[in-house]
Amino acid sequence: MVVTLEETRRSAPLFARSERPAVRFPIQAVVIDWERLIANRPVVLQTLDAMPGYLLKPEVLALLDAEKEPMYRLIYDLMWTTGARVSEVLALTPASFVDDGYDFGVILKTLKQRPGRPSKAALQRSPKRYVPLVDTLVKDRIQSYLWAGKYRQDARLFPVTRQTVNRHIRALVQRVGGAPFRISSHTFRHSFAIHLLLHGRPLKYVSQLLGHRSVDSTEIYSQVLTMDGTHFLDGVDFH
């Protein structure tokens, strides 16, 4: 018996999963001289008044490795890998995480920095944004934390305030030998934005992940690329 294509379509389940196309972002690999960028940072911060202090990947990883308390380690990991404000991380519940079998991510409620934990009214009126979590180590850490805590779906995961997190960060920085500028929870957010731009990700996309109303708010981070722009001229011959 010959089965037609139309008959095959009719017999297939309505919500059957199809194979994902093998399409990847055009940039496959980026080589970054971290030591050079770290050495260049004082010039960036001295010449660009609006540029906030930021860390680069080796420095962030050193801080993360030095943190031994699982709750704070996960808070820092989430700020570093999603660009979330600390208030947005402190508002997370188990229901904030999405796993559809293909992708894993988190739904953040866009909240501005305010003292303490966000109020229920602020949570209800805040817009939401989805941020993919592609780091398998962070995914495993989130799932282990949720399993160990046995939280209700609507329970806050981190029963601390923004001030407490920042005090903990200051103590952590001191334990690892200090830093050339003040590091706070917001430093992880700045570092996330610069990390994506260093890897060639579009400014508009980075702006959306950060929850900025306008790409103009994200533009300042791109100055890191132009201040250390020598690598953009590699391979360009004038004679």
Catalytic residue among 41, 73, 109, 195: 109
What is the tens place of the pLDDT at every residue in 171-207? 999 999 999 899 999 999 999 999 999 998 999 999 9
pLDDT reading at 3 higher than 50: no
189 is catalytic: yes
Q: Pick the catalytic residue: 117, 189, 190, 195?
A: 189
Query: Is the pLDDT assigned to residue 63 strictly greater than 90?
Result: yes
Among the listed residues 85, 117, 162, 168, the single catalytic one is 85
User: Which whole-number Å values give the CA distances from 9 to 2, 5, 12, in the listed order?
Assistant: 14, 6, 5
DSSP class of 161: -
The fourth-level CATH superfamily of domain 57-225 is: Intergrase catalytic core (1.10.443.10)
Residue 226 pLDDT more than 50?
yes
User: CA 132 to CA 103: how far, in whole Å?
Assistant: 7
Q: Which of 54, 72, 145, 221 is catalytic?
A: 221
Answer yes or no: 68 catalytic: no
Respond yes or no: is residue 168 known to be catalytic: no
What does the pLDDT read at residue 223? 84
* % of the chain with per-residue pLDDT over 90: 62
- Kindly tell me if the per-residue pLDDT of 94 is higher than 70: yes
For 15-48, what is each residue's pLDDT tens digit?
A: 555 566 566 777 777 888 899 899 989 988 988 8
Residues 6+ apart with CB under 8 A from 32: 57, 198, 199
- What does the pLDDT read at residue 13? 59
Mean pLDDT rounded to a whole number for the chain:
86
* CA distances to 17, 98, 104, 105, 122 from 101, in Å: 10, 9, 8, 11, 31
Tell me the pLDDT band of 132, cut-offs 50, 70 and 90.
very high
| pLDDT attached to residue 159 | 94
Dihedral sign (CA 165, 168, 173, 179): positive
- Delimit the domains of the chain by residue range: 57-225
190 an active-site residue?
no
Picking from 232, 220, 231, 230, the residue whose alpha carbon sits closest to that of residue 193 is 220
Alpha helices, DSSP H, located in 3-119: 5-11, 34-47, 57-66, 70-82, 86-90
69: pLDDT strictly greater than 60? yes
Asked if 212 is an active-site residue, the reply is yes
| Per annotation, catalytic residue among 41, 73, 162, 186 | 186
